[in-house]
Amino acid sequence: MRCDRIWRNARLATLAPDQPGLGIIESGLIAACDRRILYAGPEAEAPAFDAPERTNCEERWITPGLIDCHTHLVYGANRAHEFELRLAGASYEEIARAGGGILSTMAATRAASEAELVESALLRLDALLAEGLTTIEVKSGYGLARDAEMRQLRAARQLAAHRRVEVTTSFLGAHALPPEAGGDKDAYIGLICDKMLPAIAEAGLADAVDAFCESIAFSPAQTALVFEAAGRLGLPVKLHADQFSNLHGAALAARYGALSADHLEYTDEAGAAAMAGAGTVAVLLPGAFYFTRETRKPPVEAFRKHGTRMALATDCNPGSSPLTSLLLAMNFGATLFRLTVEECLAGVTREAARALGRFDSIGTLQAGKFCDLAIWDIERPAELVYGMGFNPLHARVWRGE
């Protein structure tokens, strides 16, 4: 059988949902044709492939390429100085008075050109790619005005022209209230629904719509208005939910059939059950938990009990999670939230794909999906979760190359 390339003598963690655990195949073979997987299975049962390129993996492990399903990768400047002030004892109010916080990132993002936003985001993207990343979600939310939000989303889309990676984008206009709104959250939500979102949908700049539902951001009622506007435009929704308090954001997200609800430290069992019923993925963000020194953990036991699917992501952002490593996100997920190795690995592959609505095309090693692979110099998959700051990637394959 004709194909473009095969990888043989490999150990596969397929993550196939119909297989137990990681879906392991010892002595596996993957064949790729036209960017997609033609075969992933035991070498002994593989058809005789006629491939111009044949790679002997020498018993290395192959997983699906990693997927970071929640990032704020594109932004202006960083907040290292704020971090420095906080370590020196400055209070939140003192930092806010010195111009810190999310509005400082807004100002720097508004001041940056699209090319500058792309250039700085590429540095962070390269760190993720070096660990086998093949798909990344990038949110807006630092422009907080139509043109600046659109520039941020265009910069995110541009990343895929500079690197071999799939980029999905989420419009997060409802991230924070910009100063020109004069404290009027309802009016700003109206602007998002009536002006910003239709323009962004028309330009094809967003694959999903996200919001931050929290007392310091937007209420459940305001979030629902954004979700309804997204629904009218045929865009799926996601939500930053229950991060600092329980506003029942998880249940709200489930009610709107959200792809995911993210953070979830304060989600209750009813929220976990509602998400399971709606197929809304719980995206856990242990980098933000770690960096903000949060102590309340997401209800992992309730997610397991109700069968809520769990993904893991970096939440890469300048304020609360300056993390550019999915390997470290897995280690944090295991050490801080007590996730198992299987949950961590599924969380950055199969379940992350579901959280992006991309499960039919990526996230597992199965025939018909895109041939996105990470090939690792490890003896067992647990090493990917166990290491801290160690990168055992041997090779990254995106769309069969």
Q: Token pair for residue 158?
A: 């541009």
State the minimum distance, in angstroms, from the CB of residue 248 to Zn ion. 19
Give the span between the Cα atoms of 302 and 272, in whole angstroms.
Answer: 6
What stretches of 224-370 adopt beta strand conformation (E)?
238-241, 260-263, 281-284, 310-312
Nearer to Zn ion, 131 or 315 (CB): 315
State the minimum distance, in angstroms, from the CB of residue 202 to Zn ion. 25
Nearer to Zn ion, 98 or 216 (CB): 216
State the minimum distance, in angstroms, from the CB of residue 259 to Zn ion. 14
State the minimum distance, in angstroms, from the CB of residue 396 to Zn ion. 25
Give the chain's radius of gyration (CA, Å).
21
State the minimum distance, in angstroms, from the CB of residue 317 to Zn ion. 6
State the minimum distance, in angstroms, from the CB of residue 218 to Zn ion. 14
Nearer to Zn ion, 259 or 373 (CB): 259
State the minimum distance, in angstroms, from the CB of residue 321 to Zn ion. 7
Nearer to Zn ion, 315 or 372 (CB): 315
State the minimum distance, in angstroms, from the CB of residue 186 to Zn ion. 23
Nearer to Zn ion, 101 or 198 (CB): 101
CA-to-CA separations, 364 to 23, 153, 205, 274, in angstroms, rounded: 9, 27, 27, 26
Of 380, 393, 365, 375, the closest CA to residue 31 belongs to: 365
- Count, residues near Zn ion per rule CB under 5 A: 1
Contact in structure between 246 and 226 (CB atoms under 8 Å): no
CA-to-CA separations, 195 to 111, 147, 151, 159, 172, in angstroms, rounded: 22, 11, 15, 26, 14
265 binds Zn ion (CB under 5 A): no
Contact segment (CB under 5 A) with Zn ion among 159-167, 197-205, 310-318, 367-375 equals: 310-318
Contact segment (CB under 5 A) with Zn ion among 43-51, 86-94, 104-112, 311-319 equals: 311-319
Task: Phi first, then psi: give them for residue 200, nearest 5 degrees.
Answer: -70, -40
Distance of CA 389 to the CA centre of its chain: 20
CA-to-CA separations, 193 to 174, 267, 367, in angstroms, rounded: 10, 27, 40
Nearest residue to the partner Zn ion, using Cβ: 315
Nearer to Zn ion, 178 or 381 (CB): 178
Of 220, 215, 74, the closest CA to residue 149 belongs to: 74
Q: How many CA atoms lie within 13 A of 110 on its CB side?
A: 13
Nearer to Zn ion, 141 or 299 (CB): 141
Give the span between the Cα atoms of 40 and 43, in whole angstroms.
Answer: 9
Contact segment (CB under 5 A) with Zn ion among 79-87, 116-124, 192-200, 307-315 equals: 307-315
Nearer to Zn ion, 102 or 275 (CB): 102
315 binds Zn ion (CB under 5 A): yes
Contact segment (CB under 5 A) with Zn ion among 30-38, 39-47, 142-150, 314-322 equals: 314-322
DSSP 52: S
Single-letter amino acid, residue 236: P
Contact in structure between 186 and 146 (CB atoms under 8 Å): no
214 binds Zn ion (CB under 5 A): no
State the minimum distance, in angstroms, from the CB of residue 315 to Zn ion. 5
Contact in structure between 105 and 142 (CB atoms under 8 Å): yes
Nearer to Zn ion, 150 or 241 (CB): 241
Chain residues binding Zn ion by CB under 5 A are 315
